[in-house]
Amino acid sequence: MSEKKNWGSTVLGWFVVKEGGEDSLAPADPEALPSEGDPAAPAPPGPPSVAFVTEPPRAVGGQVDFDGVLDAAGVDASERDLFAKAQALLGSLPPGTDPAVRKQIVEASLKAFGVPVDKIIEAGVESIQALEAYLRKTASDTASTAREVQALVADYEQKIAEVRQILDRKLQEQASVQTSCNSKKLEVQKVLEFFGQEEVARVVKESPRLIEPAPAPERKD
């Protein structure tokens, strides 16, 4: 088992690991989120999420206000400053320095400045807990939005299907009406043809109840 996987096990799954022991930066798949009330949905891994003291800030455009998240989770700002100093000190060490030597240097420096190591560890774990809680909250919000959108889309799709059925029936009815009317017109036309075209034209022209058809436009070749 790799060292990072051991670390992840030690802190109850707070650390982000993937196969190969590398930190996982892959985005979560919204479709893979469990649905609320789904008995078949597996329980999410990891420790219980911490409760936020205040409402954490929204990640507008996917950009996370980390200080705002940690403030909302009640992580002490002064302890976060101590952690940031330890982080900066660790980052200032030359690359390739032996891990044991790095640990001695950092611990000695922190001790010289009167910074308790326990406070730094506590601040670090608290930060990870807060970020885990924030991640779960945003994932839950995303899943809720996805369900609402899917329900709305399904409703619109049903309405579209219904109005399409209405249109199809109306078109079928119109086709039937057109066929029936044309058939009836042909029956009447046979009787009128018996009297002759000129006689029919004369009656149409003289009768106040009939509408004389307009002449067909001349073709221009």
Q: For residue range 86-96, what is the model confidence (pLDDT) as tens digits?
A: 888 888 888 88
Residue 92 resides in a domain: yes
Q: Round to whole Å and give the CA distance between 96 and 79.
A: 28
Residue 111 resides in a domain: yes
Residue 172 resides in a domain: no
Q: Are 135 and 79 in contact (CB under 8 A)?
A: no
Number of domains in the chain: 1
Q: Is the dihedral of CA 187, 191, 192, 193 positive or negative?
A: positive
Residue 117 resides in a domain: yes
Which domain range does residue 135 map to?
3-23+47-152
Tokens standing for 181? 């009317």
Across 35-44, 48-57, 119-128, 187-196, least confident range: 35-44
pLDDT band at residue 109 using 50, 70 and 90 as cut-offs = confident
Listed as own residue / partner, the contacts of 59-62 with beta carbons closer than 8 Å and 24 or more positions apart are: 59/138
pLDDT band at residue 113 using 50, 70 and 90 as cut-offs = confident
Residue 98 resides in a domain: yes
